[in-house]
Chain A
Amino acid sequence: DSGVTQTPKHLITATGQRVTLRCSPRSGDLSVYWYQQSLDQGLQFLIQYYNGEERAKGNILERFSAQQFPDLHSELNLSSLELGDSALYFCASTTGGGARPDTQYFGPGTRLTVL
């Protein structure tokens, strides 16, 4: 158990809908990273937050957004869902903001299925 929690474990929804994925980092960690894992794209970095502020952006679609709250949990919002958004979404957390090569500890993931 990495100490990173994600809810829900599974999410099934329809095209055009909006969903919110939640991540709680390890105790003491200030950074949260979001990744998408799909069969065709592999594991891709979406976005990073550090202590409430956006720190880095990857291949995140404009339909997707994220935020980190004062208690350091993070939410990833996916809107206008398409079939291709079906994937496993992971969050990971680290102590620092990324200047040091801290190990990223991953949560168990949320499996999103868009029908």
Chain B
Amino acid sequence: AQSVAQPEDQVNVAEGNPLTVKCTYSVSGNPYLFWYVQYPNRGLQFLLKYITGDNLVKGSYGFEAEFNKSQTSFHLKKPSALVSDSALYFCAVRSNQAGTALIFGKGTTLSVSS
């Protein structure tokens, strides 16, 4: 069965510090991996995705994510956090072999303090 784990319910960082939001996955076949962000009372906004190729993916708003096949991880990173980055972040996966819908993790709340 396909699944996504976001082991941290909340991540706290100070503004200007680097941030990492963790994600691990389990799928049959090769994974397609996505990160979305949700601000309060808003829909999900797409940040970036990994399909194939370079393991380091760059996305919107200065975010990037590193795909690690051996560790089945796809951690979201940003070199310097902003207070405005505070939001709920979701990792999602789908397999290239089964299904078309995204399987989402439970989400990680990122809180950036000034």
A interface residues (Cβ-Cβ under 8 A, vs B)? 2, 4, 31, 33, 42-45, 48, 55-56, 58, 90, 92, 97-99, 101, 103-109
Number of interface residues of B (CB under 8 A): 22
B interface residues (Cβ-Cβ under 8 A, vs A)? 32, 34, 36, 42-46, 49, 51, 90, 94, 96, 99-107
Closest A residue to B30 using CB positions: A101
Q: Are B106 and A42 in contact (CB under 8 A)?
A: yes
Chain B residues with CB below 8 A from A104, complex form: 34, 46, 102
Q: Are B45 and A106 in contact (CB under 8 A)?
A: yes
State the CA gap A90–B100 with chains docked (Å).
16
Q: Are B42 and A108 in contact (CB under 8 A)?
A: yes
> Given A45, A103, A107, A109, which contacts B46 in the complex, CB threshold below 8 Å?
A103
Chain A residues with CB below 8 A from B49, complex form: 101, 103
Chain B residues with CB below 8 A from A48, complex form: 100-101
Also in contact, A56 and B101, with CB within 8 A (given A42-B106, A101-B49): yes
Closest Cβ of chain A to B18, distance in Å, is 26
**Of B45, B96, B102, which is in contact with the most chain A CB atoms at under 10 Å from its CB?**
B102
